[in-house]
Structure 1
Amino acid sequence: MYEPIRTKSVHTVAAESVDFPHRTREEELDIQLAGHLAALLTVTDELRQLPSRDEELDAAAEELAAQVARLRGGHPPVRAAVAAADPASQAVALHRRAHALAGRALVVAASRADTAAAILAARRMEYHAGAQRLVSA
């Protein structure tokens, strides 16, 4: 009545199957954290293009790039030139997005006990929360 199973089960113990690469929890967290910080770097670069640009954004961009490179084994992040159509009207949205990305990075950094990345993410959250209030006022 039923067709016999002809393939191996996918529910095998990882030690038995060496068909695909396995990553540790720490490696997965490194990948997640690098992704969140790279996204935050992209938004920071967009904010740096605004006419009312803050000098702190330049230093933050360099710190973010250094952390991403550290997490990616020394490979620097790809950075593209940003050309915003109407950057002044996007400032609040960019700060809001940057705040959310910094929050995600903080959660992952705390999970993997990466103090340097957690401090950087927390500082970025504070900055963007304050910037949202200033821009929207």
Structure 2
Amino acid sequence: MYEPIRTKSVHTMAGTTTPDFPHRSREEELDIQLAGHLAALLAVTDELRALAPSADLDAAASRLAEQVARLRGGRPPARSSVAAAIHEPHTLALHQRAHALAGRALVVAASRADTAAAILAAQRMDAHAAAQAERREPVAAG
């Protein structure tokens, strides 16, 4: 019923069977993506730690650094010690950004079936959602 394909695919390189550049597997690509999301979350966490130090943020930063190093083959992530000006709207924005980054990390971790990273990302989402709820002022009934 179907006619066999007689020509090479347009997606193969002309005249070669081995590509001139290395290819990464899907798992390697997901590792790179997850490490990037967790490293970005670590940077925001470090900034939050500088603005409002807490034991929870210290522990989270340590766990995030461990996960990034694991995903990058043992190479530790770059860390920043620079802090911006301290004020509430900035802190709220950082918590919002951290929540979004943790959500992205959770999606990728679930996609690659990385339980440790998924649990960490979910915990960070919960922590940043709670921090956002604390920072928002209640609306006065009137």
In which range does the TM-score fall when normalised by the shorter chain?
0.7 to 0.9
Give the 3 Å change call, closer, same or farther, for CA 117–75 of structure 1 in structure 2.
Answer: same
Deviation at 1:61, TM superposition (A): 0.1
C-alpha deviation, 1:10, in angstroms: 6.8
Q: Distance in 2 between matches of 1:106 and 1:16?
A: 37
Count matched residues: 127
Correspondence 1:29-48 to 2 at 5 A: 29-48=30-49
Distance in 2 between residues matched to 1:33 and 1:86, nearest whole Å: 30
Structure 1 unaligned segments of length 5 or more: list them. 1-8
Q: Is the 8 A contact 2:40 2:101 kept in 1?
A: yes
Q: Is 1:16–2:13 an aligned residue pair? A: no
Q: Which residue of 1 aligns with 2:4?
A: none
Distance 1:42 1:74 in 2: 18
Separation in 2, partners of 1:96, 1:111: 23
Secondary structure (helix, strand or coil) at the match of 1:73 reads coil
CA distance in 1, matches of 2:87, 2:43: 14
Quote the residue 1:135 is aligned against: 135
**Is the partner of 2:51 in helix, strand or coil?**
coil
1:3-44 deviation line (CA, Å, top 9, x unaligned): xxxxxx97216x823200100000000000000000000000
Q: Which residue of 1 aligns with 2:103?
A: 103
Gaps of 5+ in 2: 1-8, 138-142
Amino acid paired to 2:99: H
Q: In 2 relative to 1, CA 30–11 (structure 1 residues): closer, same or farther, beyond 3 Å?
A: same
Change (3 A) 1:83 1:10: farther
Map 1:1-137 onto structure 2 (within 5 A): 11-12=11-12, 16-51=17-52, 53-137=53-137
Percent identical pairs in the alignment equals 71
Q: Aligned equivalents of 1:24 and 1:39: distance in 2?
A: 23
The CA distance in 1 between the partners of 2:54 and 2:83, in whole Å, is: 18
TM-score by length of 1: 0.87
Instruction: Tell me the TM-score normalised to structure 2 length.
Output: 0.84
Indicate conservation of the 8 Å contact 1:41/1:64, yes or no. yes
